[in-house]
Structure 1
Amino acid sequence: MDEAPGLSDQYRTASPWPVFIALGIPISELGLLFGLFPLAVGGLLLFGGSVIGILKESGYVTSTIRAVTALAVVFLAFGAGLAFTDIALVTRGYAVIAAAILLAVGGVVFELFVREQRQTF
């Protein structure tokens, strides 16, 4: 009998991405709630990057650029909705738009300059 059925040495036991997603959501919410621009942008970048990372790690996406583009479009739409519908939420909307732009730029830079490393055994 095997003491740990279904587990193999080739798989890691835990992924770091859920922790960063769990941190990114409240950080961005605090920044958006209190109108703190850098905190909101940083939290949204942490959340967005972690979502892209978990999608790539789990094999749902082969190229990160499409996932980054889709998430950036969602952030842009949400930010535009905040910025252009109510006067009191303009700063919060601009924070989400800035995070979308930085996420898209970071995704393009990652795709262009970071090469996928393959391990050979």
Structure 2
Amino acid sequence: MVEEPGLSDQYPTASPWPVFVALGLALSEIGVFVGLFPVAVFGLILFGGSIAGILTESGYVERPWPTLLGVGAVLIVVAAAFTVWQVPAAEIALSNVGTGPLLTRLVAVAVAGVVMMAMGSVASIMEQTAA
């Protein structure tokens, strides 16, 4: 009889998702607060995808795609709200991305949300056509 402490009979192995949630959160914080655009986008995508994966694995949702769409939409709304709230109206233009640190960070959050929504939409469509 092999005994594995901390694991039940229902779950014979540990889930990898908490590691990816923590890694995604850390990368997104570093990327957003330090201003590293690709790191922020990748970290937010990893974080959102891990949330979708952990909710699917735990049985709270059947498929991860709606969760991915929801997290992407939340990121877009938060980025838009902070842009309207914190960035002067004269500076809100795509030509100013990269010149102002706040606008660049908010665009990174919005881009991550758009990518997550695109991934969730495409995957959902592919899943429906395959069935």
Distance 1:94 1:59, change over 3 A: same
TM-score (norm 1): 0.80
Identity value in percent: 44
The one of the two structures with greater contact order (alpha-carbon pairs below 8 A, sep at least 6) is: 2
DSSP-derived class of the 2:22 partner: helix
Bigger Cα displacement from structure 2, 80-89 vs 94-103: 80-89
TM-score (norm 2): 0.75
Distance 1:110 1:83, change over 3 A: same
CA drift at 1:12: 3.1
* Equivalent residue pairs, number: 112
Aligned to 1:89: 102
How far apart are the structure 2 equivalents of 1:16 and 1:24? 13
Bigger Cα displacement from structure 2, 15-24 vs 81-90: 81-90
How big is the alpha-carbon RMSD for the aligned residues of Structure 1 and Structure 2? 2.2
CA drift at 1:84: 2.8
Query: Where do 1:1-121 residues align within 5 Å?
Result: 7-8=8-9, 11-87=11-87, 88-114=101-127
DSSP-derived class of the 2:23 partner: helix
How far apart are the structure 2 equivalents of 1:27 and 1:109? 25
DSSP-derived class of the 1:7 partner: coil
CA drift at 1:70: 1.6
Q: Is the 8 A contact 1:17 1:53 kept in 2?
A: yes
Bigger Cα displacement from structure 2, 81-90 vs 24-33: 81-90
CA drift at 1:27: 0.6
Unaligned runs of 5+ in 1: 116-121
Aligned to 1:118: none
Letter in 2 for 1:101: V
How far apart are the structure 2 equivalents of 1:4 and 1:21? 24
How far apart are the structure 2 equivalents of 1:78 and 1:86? 12
